[in-house]
Chain A
């Protein structure tokens, strides 16, 4: 019972992160029908920007960034989050304009290879000494280590305390707010309707008077902002930041991509569902079976779902009537 509750909490937090990242993959795929391999590097950028800003900001407030006992007021975290989202949006916008837009009419494989190129570029620029450097760093604590809830629940060997920490709640609430805002934007606004139209048929959208280039740019901005938020939240939960080209980042991005595919790539709600599904499989599998195989569970689930529902859980295949 205690173990279950604790694992559930972690799965919800990790699932929120996967969902935020998966949304970026799925929105870009929905509109341009290619996998933006550089998307996970925006997450890394978001995390490292947050670290850099925290590192600079805390001393200005008279705090020691290396002492986890001295946490800044809560607004500092919010400022860093928003600044990181804004900067990553700008980078996402620039990547689309400079790297992908010139290839809009080229075969999709060209764009795919370009995306891998952009990803490698970001990883290696990130490692430069005057950027983020080649060594791991420790994210300063931005949140007090409050326990919001501590309950004693029965477990296999006697009662155990289950702790609901502030970090997990912040991750879940922030992600939920962002995802609800996105849901509203995509399904309730004119811009969102235009995004769904462009994802269905670019030429027909242009004939409606929809400025397609602007919608595509906006999609990248949106996806990058969510990725930055995920990077920030990830750094809060796992303060030991690996260097920008480290395999853990690649794996994080890959799992989020799997989440998007499982949910039905191109489907916004599917990405969120997929994020939580793989987090639950990963976390519960790691706890109850063996944590050595946590990645295996995720990819085995991918294979299983693709066998049964090739277009993903919520992916639909709408046939055009001719």
Chain B
């Protein structure tokens, strides 16, 4: 039984068909990556799974339940959590308040504290800035905060939308290292990336999306070795 099953998903922005029958699945314990160019429909896929966009057709099942007509907060509560593209941290709140919001639906205080400590262990730099306004953090720190905030929700499946966007190469390596650690600690991950090179290194399986359609899928190592992917996404000639 797959943890997440997306079947034949179509999504429209007005008259424009952004997703044209996307199907994918994520198994318990996996890191799955969805790679593709700008505008291919990666973020749209995640936003639809999170309930921010209504699908026109298709179904989304998570953890045995059909969720595609649920409100976003209910989806979060079921354990499907997204750290969105562009970090979307609350710049007007402190770093600590941002983390509290990650645990908004939880009431188990001691467990929240433990999860918060664990998330901060992954990102010591966030811990140093707990009482700062989140808007004063650097881009890299904001990304770390966004991931830490999502972790405090204790996700069964963590969806990361372009966590490496706009970060220095050194930081990109750190972020991917942390993604691997989160996965090893037992969290399933669906990773959307433009940085196909790094994404394919960390993922078990991968999907390639082009203009709203899944073009290829398979084990990450296999896709990384295929000529088509190497030419289109890994910069090989």
Contacts and interface: CB of A to CB of B under 8 A. Distances in A.
B216 interface: no
Interface in B96-120: 97, 100-102, 104-105
A104 to B, nearest CB: 13
Contacts of B50: 206-207
Contacts of A200: 90-93
Contacts of A203: 52, 84, 88
Contacts of B138: 321
Nearest to A321: B139
Interface stretch (A46-54, A127-135, A191-199, A283-291): A191-199
B86 interface: yes
A268 to B, nearest CB: 12
Interface stretch (B30-38, B69-77, B205-213, B221-229): B69-77
Contacts of A212: 72-73
Nearest to B166: A322
User: Could you say which of A194, A206, A213 has the most chain B C-beta atoms within 10 Å of its C-beta?
Assistant: A206
B135 A318 contact: yes
Contacts of B52: 203, 206-207
Contacts of A207: 50, 52, 72, 76, 81-82, 84, 88
B43 to A, nearest CB: 11
B88 A190 contact: no
Interface of A is mostly: helix
A206 B51 contact: yes
Given A200-B91, A203-B52, A203-B88, A208 B139 contact: no
B153 interface: yes
A219 to B, nearest CB: 16
A200 B100 CA distance: 16
Q: Which of B84, B86, B102, B104 has the most CB of A within 10 A?
A: B104
B45 interface: no
Interface in A218-232: none
B68 interface: no
A197 B93 contact: yes
A95 B153 CA distance: 33
Contacts of A209: 72-73, 76-77, 81, 104-105, 153
A208 B71 CA distance: 12
A211 interface: yes
Contacts of A194: 101, 104
Contact of B86 (A205, A213, A322): A322
B149 interface: yes
B93 A208 contact: no
B142 interface: yes
A4 B138 CA distance: 51
Nearest to A316: B92
13 contacts: A197-B101, A200-B90, A201-B88, A203-B88, A206-B50, A207-B72, A209-B105, A211-B71, A213-B71, A318-B92, A319-B91, A321-B135, A322-B139
Interface of A: 190, 193-194, 196-197, 199-201, 203-213, 318-322
Given A207-B50, A318-B135, 17 more contacts: A190-B100, A194-B104, A196-B97, A197-B101, A201-B88, A201-B90, A204-B90, A206-B50, A207-B52, A207-B81, A208-B76, A209-B76, A209-B105, A210-B73, A212-B73, A320-B91, A321-B139
